[in-house]
Amino acid sequence: MRINSLVNPASLQNDLVVLSPDESHHLARVLRVEAGQELTLFDGQGTRAGAVVEEVSKKAVSVRITDRETIPPPAVGITLIQAVCKPDRFEMILQKATELGVQTIQPVITQNCSLPAGKVDKMINRGEAIIRNAAQQCGTAWLPQLLPLQSLSKLALEFSITLVGSLQSNARPFREVFNTLNKSKIKTAAILIGPEGDFTEKEVNSATEAGAIPVTFGKQILRTETAALFGLSVLTYELNLN
């Protein structure tokens, strides 16, 4: 099994890298790596390196870099604008968004968000760790940026294309929307996903007035985490990012 380890960018400038205490503990005590084992190091900013474990001690794991490569960022930067939801669902969304190559994740408060403020703050604070763990699992070269929590009403929708999941009658299928676009001109794309109680009609109308296109996920009413994965998968496919 190939093991991926996230390191700070400065570390990849050296031939010999001593991994952080947390990462060393994980490799030595959980994965039980040994000298001579191959790893992949990445910095979350486009640099990936092959490495071999040099030494495993009680305090640290040191590795020697054998090769480096620079991975260009995706041609289109995708932003997920996600209404906060129950912690287990929010964590799944962060994990899968990372695996799907999202560039930015913007959590937002909407009218139908029902979580206490303290629970929301705790959930957002855990977000970075969830993203890092997901990145190590899938080996992505680029780590998504988790932005500070905002109110949906204060968010500017400054993207080449913005989609908003909607249950209103004017929502259009994804395929119909993309068939009308010149996809070669799209440099940034965003999708807004509502909470368990969905966006209010006023919120959808405000997003539409700001330039967002209402889209439907089909006949079934999807859970918020399913809608996020559905929408991100369609964007990745339509914009040839997979």
The predicted-structure confidence for 190-232, as pLDDT tens digits, reads as follows: 999 999 888 999 999 999 999 999 999 988 889 999 999 999 9
- Please state the pTM of the whole predicted model: 0.90
Looking at residue 74, its amino acid is P
Identify whether residues 64 and 105 lie together within a single domain. Answer: no
Q: What is the CATH number of the domain that holds 52?
A: 2.40.240.20
C-beta atoms surrounding 214 within 10 Å = 21
Provide the pLDDT for residue 29. Answer: 86
* Cα gap 27→3, rounded to integer Å: 9
Residues 87 and 172 in one domain: yes
Last residue of a domain, one of 70, 97, 126: 70
Q: Same domain for 109 and 226? A: yes
Using pLDDT thresholds of 50, 70 and 90, give the confidence band for residue 58: confident
Residue 96 and residue 178 share a domain: yes
Show which of 35, 54, 70 is a domain's final residue: 70
Same domain as 20, residue 84: no
pLDDT over 70 percentage in the chain: 99
Q: Which domain holds residue 46?
A: 3-70
Q: Give yes or no: residues 23 and 92 share one domain.
A: no
pLDDT band at residue 78, thresholds of 50, 70 and 90? very high
Residue 242 has pLDDT above 90, yes or no: no
> Which residue type sits at 2?
R
Structural domain count of the chain: 2
* CATH classification of the domain holding 179: 3.40.1280.10
Pair 100, 125 in one domain:
yes
From 17, 40, 70, the end of a domain falls on: 70
pLDDT at 1: 63
Do residues 61 and 87 both lie within one domain? Answer: no
- Residue 183 and residue 158 share a domain: yes
Q: Which residue has the tokens 């780590």?
A: 143
In terms of domains, do 128 and 59 share one?
no
DSSP secondary structure string for all residues of 62-90? EEEEEEEEEPPPPSSEEEEEEE---HHHH
pLDDT tens figures, 110-136: 998 877 777 888 888 899 999 999 998
Instruction: Looking at the structure, tell me whether residues 105 and 181 fall in a common domain.
Output: yes
Residues 88 and 128 in one domain: yes
